[in-house]
Amino acid sequence: MRQIILDTETTGLEPSQGHRIIEFAALEMVDRKLTGRHLHLYMHPERAIDPDAQRVHGISLEFLEGKPRFADVAAEISDFIADGELIIHNAPFDIGFMNAEFERAGLPMTAAQCAGVIDTLVMARDQFPGKRNSLDALCDRFDVDRSNRTVHGALIDCELLAEVYLWMTRGQESLAMDVEQEESGLETLALLNYERKPIPVLRASENELAEHAQYLDALDKSVKGVCVWRQLEAEAQA
């Protein structure tokens, strides 16, 4: 199966208010292995970027000067996601923006171009109800290194989401699966067979046994008879 890990960064929160995509990233995964093929683009939004959004992703309008518009790269994006199953964290957000951009470019909606969408946020809420399920929280939960992520960025978020998705779905495949390191520089992911080691048995020392006997003697005295522990011991030896 061909799957596409996808993320976008935008000028704001609402495509209905004219906000646009300014960064697009997608990683290709086939049979649960990253192929190294990816698409990463910056786009000029032809409008201002909300200050709150810029504080999240760190992308300024000055940085985007000279970059192509979405319409200029829409066909490239469409070709990359064609017939793939999209894996997105909080899919309605990204799909809403992509649909708005595709509509402007005169292309079919996202659902008509891909083979389906997996929302990892919905998956996480099902697996971990009542817990924080942001991408950062999932990285912490699965011990995925995000030390290089100082701001939200579409490409690095895709790399982190790929690792998180494989951990979240590891029960669907053999735990002996290895996901090889690819030329894209993504960290090797290894899901290995877990070998349960024998539980060590620690025998009580002579001193510990003597102290235990003294404690039971005190219990016998307090109950003016035989304590429950000694009754159980006698039954076990019978």
CA distance 172 to 28: 19
CA distances from 53 to 48, 56, 59, 233, 234 (A): 11, 5, 9, 69, 72
- 219-228's contacts with Cβ under 8 Å and 24+ in sequence apart are none
Which value, in Å, is the radius of gyration of the alpha carbons in the chain? Answer: 28
Query: Catalytic: 152?
Result: yes
Q: Give the tokens for residue 64.
A: 């985007």
Give alpha helix (H) positions in 67-183.
Answer: 70-81, 91-105, 110-113, 120-127, 135-141, 154-168
CA distances from 10 to 45, 100, 156, 199, 219 (A): 9, 12, 15, 52, 71
Question: Which one of 19, 57, 89, 152 is the catalytic residue?
Answer: 152
For residues 5 and 158, the answer to whether their CB atoms sit within 8 Å is: yes
Query: Helix and strand tally (H, E) in the chain?
Result: 9, 7
- The catalytic residues are 152
